[in-house]
């Protein structure tokens, strides 16, 4: 599906199955950034020359494109360098807002980027860091969530789509319950934005974070959406140029959101690249992408189901584009090394999610993750190589 649009995949025999870590880039994204550098490159918001005006227009146009992609208003979209920075921005703000007796509630299956910042914010503010669990099939244990939620909960953090289990979480239900006790909700959308349609208005979440590089866009850019009232509560995360209203020796006043959170020179070329990526996936259709990747996921899980000693993390029937597993007696790093001899790229490790691996009594796992450019032939190639590898180890 559209593999011909991705230069790296058309110029090599690579079977790329690591899109959850970082997706490949279509030619349209590369071209948009190259044109910007060659034609419009000047710093945004400050310059008076004609190319600075063009650059600023393209940057703010990119904000509008990306806001529309998630069904948000442009002035509620903040550009950062990554999902990680977006979450840290919110957590740093809450570190100053939380008090002893307050609670932060986080899913045990979160990526460390949506786990550690909240843990550290609680340690520094004397708030209480709490977690809620998941069931053996990889879904959120809603009974545990509701038991942990209380009027003391100030913020809930949860991914829309897990980077290890590949299961879509019931975000609307979580948001509704959290709002009922007065808590705000931050949703990590790093994985979901590339795999399914996203509508922050429908989710009703207070914050939503994602990255460019997982959405077929460039590295070095992330997005933080926040409801206007939620963003206005937060203090600035960094200080510097373009985020101030007035500076004197006595005091500094700050610009309105989103400029308030965009200190210094922003990733404006990367924003244009991410907007091109958004245009690309929207031309295909997020529903079409989701259906295509679901078919690939089902093919893979069916092919893995008859392998002796293979343990999948979570229920394969619930997965969306991400499958993690181990094979008894063979370290996943050895499997990955053998696969790369056949030009197959997968991911091995704890995937920046140690607590969820501990939940399944695993230290690490092998992860296969799909992008829109993958094809059924990639699944067949992977399974053939995996069977060959297991036989080499005596399996």
Q: Which residues are catalytic?
A: 352
Backbone angles phi, psi at 367, to 5 degrees: -120, 130
Q: What is the DSSP letter of 37?
A: I
- Strands 252-254 vs 103-107: parallel, antiparallel or unpaired: unpaired
The length of the chain is 395
- For residue 237 the two structure tokens come to 């995360």
**Total Cβ atoms within 10 A of residue 383:** 16
How far from the centroid of its chain's Cα atoms is residue 332's Cα? 24
The 3-state DSSP class for residue 187 equals: strand
> Which among 31, 105, 3, 28 has a CA at the least distance from the CA of 282?
28
Cis peptide before 251 (omega within 30 of 0): no
Number of C-beta neighbours around residue 201 at 10 A: 11
Q: Which residues contact 394 (CB under 8 A, 6 or more apart)?
A: 329
Phi and psi torsions of 365, nearest 5°: -155, 165
In the block, tokens 């190319």 appear at 51
Q: Specify the DSSP class assigned to residue 140.
A: B
Query: How far is it, in rounded angstroms, from Cα 220 to Cα 213?
Result: 8
Are the C-beta atoms of 310 and 327 separated by less than 8 Å? yes
- Laid out side by side, the sheet with 310-312 consists of 310-312, 322-327, 365-369, 347-349
362 near 351, Cβ under 8 Å? no
């Amino acid at each position: 599906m559209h593999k011909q649009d991705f230069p790296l995949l058309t110029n090599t025999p690579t079977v790329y199955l690591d899109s959850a870590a970082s997706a490949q880039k279509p030619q349209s994204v590369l071209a948009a950034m190259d044109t910007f550098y060659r034609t419009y490159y000047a710093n945004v918001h400050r310059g008076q020359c004609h190319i600075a005006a063009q650059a600023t227009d393209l940057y703010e146009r990119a904000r509008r494109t990306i806001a529309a992609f998630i069904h948000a208003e442009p002035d509620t979209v903040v550009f950062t360098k990554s999902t990680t920075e977006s979450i840290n921005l919110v957590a740093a703000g809450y570190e100053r807002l939380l008090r002893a007796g307050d609670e932060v509630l986080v899913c045990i299956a979160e990526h460390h980027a949506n786990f550690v910042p909240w843990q550290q914010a609680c340690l520094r503010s004397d708030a209480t860091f709490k977690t809620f669990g998941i069931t053996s099939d990889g879904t959120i244990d809603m009974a545990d969530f509701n038991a942990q939620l209380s009027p003391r909960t100030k913020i809930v953090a949860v991914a829309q789509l897990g980077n290890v289990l590949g299961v879509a979480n019931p975000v609307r239900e979580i948001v509704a319950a959290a709002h009922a006790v007065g808590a705000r909700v931050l949703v990590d959308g790093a994985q979901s934005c590339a795999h399914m349609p996203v509508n922050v208005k429908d989710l009703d979440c207070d914050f939503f974070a994602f990255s460019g590089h997982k959405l077929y866009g460039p590295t070095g850019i992330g997005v933080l959406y926040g409801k206007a009232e939620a963003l206005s509560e937060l203090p600035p995360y960094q200080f510097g140029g373009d985020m101030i209203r007035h500076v004197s020796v006595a005091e500094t006043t700050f610009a309105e959101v989103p400029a308030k959170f965009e200190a210094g020179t922003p990733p404006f070329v990367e924003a244009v690249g991410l907007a091109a990526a958004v245009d690309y996936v929207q031309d295909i259709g997020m529903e079409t992408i989701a259906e295509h990747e679901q078919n690939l996921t089902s093919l893979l899980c069916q092919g893995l189901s008859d392998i002796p000693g293979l343990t999948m993390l979570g229920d394969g029937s619930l997965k969306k584009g991400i499958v993690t597993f181990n094979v008894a007696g063979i370290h996943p790093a050895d499997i990955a090394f053998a696969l790369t001899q056949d030009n197959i790229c997968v991911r091995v490790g704890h995937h920046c999610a140690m607590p969820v691996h501990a939940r399944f009594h695993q230290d690490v796992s092998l992860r296969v993750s799909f992008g829109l450019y993958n094809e059924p032939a990639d699944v067949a190639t992977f399974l053939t190589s995996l069977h060959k590898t297991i036989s080499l180890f005596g399996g």
